Amino acid sequence: MTSDVKMQNLVNELTDALLAGENLDTVRRKHDVARGEADDLINLIERINQSMQKVEPSAQFAKSLKADLMGEQRTGVVGQIRKLPARVQYAAVVAIVGGFLLILRRMFFGEEHVVQEDTNPAQEKI
C-alpha cells in the first residue's frame, strides 16, 4: 500500500465487510494486501467495534431536535430566552433574581426599611 487513499479504501471496505459479516478474504484479495497487514487492521476494527456502545437518545432530546430541524417556533419565556446570546441570558437571570429579592425584602421588612429621599424644608413651603 503506497497511497493513503488506497489505505482508506481498504479500511473502509474491511469495516463494511466485518460489520456485515461477510468474508474478509475477498477484500484482502481485491486490494492485494498481505494477510499480516490486513489482520492487524481487522483486529483494530474489531476492538473499536466492540468498544462502541449503542446509545438511544431520550424522547425529550428527539422531540427538541425534531422541532429545531423542522423550524418550529418555541413558545414561552424559556424558549424565547434560549434564543438570546449567552450574555443577555445571564443578564436576564440576574435581573429576575434581583427583582425577586427586592420583592422578598419588601414583603418581610416592610416599607419603613426602604431608603427614602430627604426633602428640603425650604422646598416644602412652596
**Mean pLDDT, rounded, of the chain:** 81
In the chain, which residues have pLDDT < 50? 1
Joined together, the cell numbers standing for residue 126 give 412652596
Neighbours of 74 (CB within 10 A): 13
Predicted confidence (pLDDT) per residue in 63-78, tens digit: 888 988 888 776 677 7
Give me the pLDDT at residue 1, please. Answer: 45
Give me the pLDDT at residue 113, please. Answer: 53
Q: In percent, how much of the chain has pLDDT > 90? A: 16
Give me the pLDDT at residue 74, please. Answer: 65
Residue ranges covered by each domain of the chain = 4-51, 62-112
Give me the pLDDT at residue 35, please. Answer: 78
Give me the pLDDT at residue 21, please. Answer: 84
Who contacts 38 (Cβ-Cβ below 8 Å, separation ≥6)? 10, 14, 24, 27, 28
Who contacts 84 (Cβ-Cβ below 8 Å, separation ≥6)? 92
Give me the pLDDT at residue 2, please. Answer: 56
